[in-house]
Amino acid sequence: MNALEHQLSYPFGDTLPEVGTTLEVAPGVRWLRMKLPFALDHINLWLLRDELDGREGWTIVDCGITSDETRAAWERIFEHELGGLPVLRVIVTHMHPDHIGLAHWLTERWSCRLWISATDFNAARLASTATTGFGGHSAAAFMQSHGLSDPPSLDKIRARTNYYASMVPKVPEKFRRLLDGDAISIGPRGGKHRWVCHVGYGHAPEHMSLHCADLGLLISGDMVLPRISTNVSVIDLEPEANPLPLYLASIERMRALPADTLVLPSHGKPFRGLHTRIDQLKSHHDERFAELMDACAQEPLTAAQALKVLFKRELDLHQTTFAMGESIAHLNALWLKGQLVRRLGEDGVYRFSPG
């Protein structure tokens, strides 16, 4: 546990639900975990006791990636954790593979509806049929234009033409749209609670977190995580994007929620200390901005060169692709704010320096 984590409170300590089991975090709210094949090796998912259209059952929040292992873990959940009741709906916070990957299977398995923002639904449908963001020739060319020059890494990125589709091979054909401010009534008959949608930008096109004032809970998705900072990237589809200010403004709006809210994040452990964590994340990015300004004052930097400024550890290829997106996001924010100038060199590579 790092020093910043000590400023947060973890009511369940080091207790984690084993794969295929659940842990109750509040009345009618269960926590489960699924494995991921990355350095970030897990995702937290949530089961909410529910009643819909006169039927008692459960709502699932987020799905895990498409894999035989994840399906098998869900089948154990269905057999042992649902009390014989069906799944009534599947809510997905956003379109990233670990969140929407098995939505098609779950909604078909239970003949129920996917609930998600329209932007992320359509982004997922597009991404599942064509490479986007972190694979293929376009992604490799984009990262090369920002200074990534290692031939083996570029070759591997070009070869990742089915990166998204391998984990999200299909998206449900129909969905129910979630909008910022929507209040979803969730709970068993006679015990309904209002879960209010809070939109977040920067990490995904239109991320939806869910807050229940009655229970004092926030299902934060990836917008607020206790141990790591949320990935905020620029990708080849929108090369001049400026997602980082959007992200910071989104988490600042969450400060309106009570400070003692129990945050249920997609990665890491449930925690209290929402306002403290917002402060930590804002300070983290302020420090990265300052370090980049100092480094660019020494010499014009590419996003690839800026990786050493932003990340103090060795990165594998999977991490490098996300890190490049984050590096460009920080540099774009400073450039579009007028604090840095971006110049395209004769070698076709962008470099950033003070004006």
Q: Round to whole Å and give the CA distance between 266 and 92.
A: 11
Write down the pLDDT at residue 161.
Answer: 85
Closest CA to 252 of 228, 288, 283, 292: 283
Instruction: Name the fold adopted by 5-244+257-274.
Output: Metallo-beta-lactamase; Chain A (3.60.15)
pLDDT tens string for the chain (355 positions)? 577 878 999 999 999 999 999 999 999 999 999 999 988 999 999 999 999 999 999 999 999 999 999 999 999 999 999 999 999 999 999 999 999 999 999 999 999 999 999 999 999 999 998 765 568 899 999 999 999 999 998 998 998 888 899 999 999 999 999 999 999 999 999 999 999 999 999 999 999 999 999 999 999 999 999 999 999 999 999 999 999 999 999 999 999 999 999 999 999 999 999 999 999 999 999 999 999 999 999 999 999 999 999 998 888 888 899 999 999 999 999 999 999 999 999 999 999 999 8
Secondary structure letter of residue 301 according to DSSP: B
Q: Round to whole Å and give the CA distance between 158 and 155.
A: 5
Closest CA to 147 of 349, 307, 294, 352: 349
Per the CB < 8 A criterion, the answer to whether 209 and 223 are in contact is: yes
Tokens of 267: 């990665």
Write down the pLDDT at residue 132.
Answer: 58
- The whole-angstrom distance between residue 203's C-alpha and the CA centroid of its chain comes to 6
Closest CA to 89 of 67, 63, 128: 63
Q: Round to whole Å and give the CA distance between 255 and 260.
A: 11
Phi/psi of residue 38, nearest 5 degrees: -130, 180
- The whole-angstrom distance between residue 172's C-alpha and the CA centroid of its chain comes to 20
What pTM was estimated for this model as a whole?
0.96
- Residue 188's alpha-carbon distances to 26, 88, 111, 211, in angstroms, are 14, 12, 19, 17
Secondary structure letter of residue 7 according to DSSP: G
Write down the pLDDT at residue 312.
Answer: 86
Question: How would you classify the pairing of strands 262-265 and 42-52?
Answer: unpaired
Q: Round to whole Å and give the CA distance between 143 and 139.
A: 6
